[in-house]
Amino acid sequence: GSLRIIRDAYAGCKDERFTRLHLDHVPVLDEDNRPVAYEAIIAEALDLGYESVMVDGSRLPLEANIAATGKVIALARAAGVPVEAELGAVLGHEAGPLPPYEELFRSGRGFTDPAEAARFVRETGVDWLSVAVGNIHGAISGAAKSAKKVEARLNIEHLDRIRAAVGPVPLVLHGGSGIRKASILAGVKHGIAKINVGTALRQAYEAGLAVSPAEARDRTRAATAAVIRDELEIAGSADRLGVSG
C-alpha cells in the first residue's frame, strides 16, 4: 500500500538530523462521517517503522474521541511511538463550502474547548494535542484546492486558555499554510510546538508536476525553504537545514 511506498521513498532521502516520518491525520470518521479502519492503518504504519502517528477523532463526541485515541496510544506505546490527537474542529476538509472565514473566526465555531482539552489530555496521556483557535485546513478537493488559501489568524487569548488548562503537553497547529505571520509568531510564543503545512507545498508540487517530476521536486523544495525562511522567520533554521530558495 501507499504507507509502504512513502516509507521506502523517505528511507531513500531522509536526513535524521532534521526529519522524522510521521503519519498525519488517520481519521476515525471520514469527511462523510463513515467509519475508517483507523486501528489497522496505524498498526500497519507502526509495523513499517513510522516514527509518530496522528489519530484524528475530532469528528466524534468527546468521550468517543478519548476512547479512540486511547486505543491508538495503547498500540503505539507498545512500539515506543508517540501519538498526536485532535480536539476541536480544524475545519476545511468537510464536503460542501465553508462559511466566510471572518464569520467562523468571530463565532469561534469548532474552537477547542479548554475544559474538554484538560480532560482529554488527562485521560489519554496523548503526546501532542492539535487544537483549533482560528486555524483552518486548505481545501484538498474541488476548484478551491488550487486557489489561494484564506489568510487565517489565531485567537491567542483562546490559545492561552487552552495552554493554562492542559499543562505542558505540546500543542500542534494544523492548517499552517497562509496563516498571518504575526499570528504564527504569537502562536509559537504561546504554546504551539509543531506547525503542519500542507497546501503551500502541495500546490507547488502539483504546479510543478504539470511540467515534470523533476520540476515538481524542485518547486516543492523551494516552497519548503520559503515557508521555513520567510513565513516562519525562525532565525537560522533554513540555513541549518542547508536549504535555499
Assess 58 for contact with ligand 13P (CB under 6 A): no
With contact defined as beta carbons under 8 Å apart, do 133 and 155 qualify?
yes
Among residue numbers 138 through 157, which ones bind ligand 13P (CB under 6 A)? 138
3-state secondary structure of 76: helix
**Residue selected from 93, 158, 174, 219 as contacting ligand 13P according to rule CB under 6 A:** 174
With contact defined as beta carbons under 8 Å apart, do 190 and 159 qualify?
yes
C-alpha 233/C-alpha 226 separation (Å) is 10
Which C-beta is closer to ligand 13P: that of 19 or that of 212?
19
Specify whether 8 is catalytic: no
The C-alpha cell at 176 is 499552517
Binding segment for ligand 13P (CB under 6 A), chosen from 11-19, 109-117, 118-126, 197-205, is 197-205
Residue owning grid cell 515534470:
212
Choosing from 24, 47, 230, 239, the catalytic residue is: 24
Assess 88 for contact with ligand 13P (CB under 6 A): no
From residue 21 to residue 50, what is the string marking binding to ligand 13P with x (rule CB under 6 A)? ---xx-------------------------
Residue owning grid cell 516562519:
232
**Residue selected from 198, 206, 222, 234 as contacting ligand 13P according to rule CB under 6 A:** 198
Tell me how far, at minimum, the Cβ of 140 lies from ligand 13P, in Å. Answer: 7
Residue 186 CB coordination number (10 Å): 15
Tell me how far, at minimum, the Cβ of 195 lies from ligand 13P, in Å. Answer: 8
Which C-beta is closer to ligand 13P: that of 118 or that of 188?
188
C-alpha 225/C-alpha 232 separation (Å) is 10
C-alpha 214/C-alpha 209 separation (Å) is 8
Assess 112 for contact with ligand 13P (CB under 6 A): no
User: How far does CA 215 lie from the centroid of its chain?
Assistant: 26
**Residue selected from 70, 114, 134, 175 as contacting ligand 13P according to rule CB under 6 A:** 175
Which C-beta is closer to ligand 13P: that of 82 or that of 118?
82
C-alpha 170/C-alpha 149 separation (Å) is 26
Tell me how far, at minimum, the Cβ of 101 lies from ligand 13P, in Å. Answer: 12
Assess 110 for contact with ligand 13P (CB under 6 A): no
Distances (CA, A) of 125 to 25, 70, 88, 151, 207: 18, 8, 17, 33, 41
Tell me how far, at minimum, the Cβ of 186 lies from ligand 13P, in Å. Answer: 18
Q: Can you say whether the dihedral through the CA atoms of 18, 168, 83, 130 is positive or negative?
A: negative
Binding site for ligand 13P (CB under 6 A): 24-25, 137-138, 174-177, 196-199
Q: Give the residue numbers marked as catalytic.
A: 24
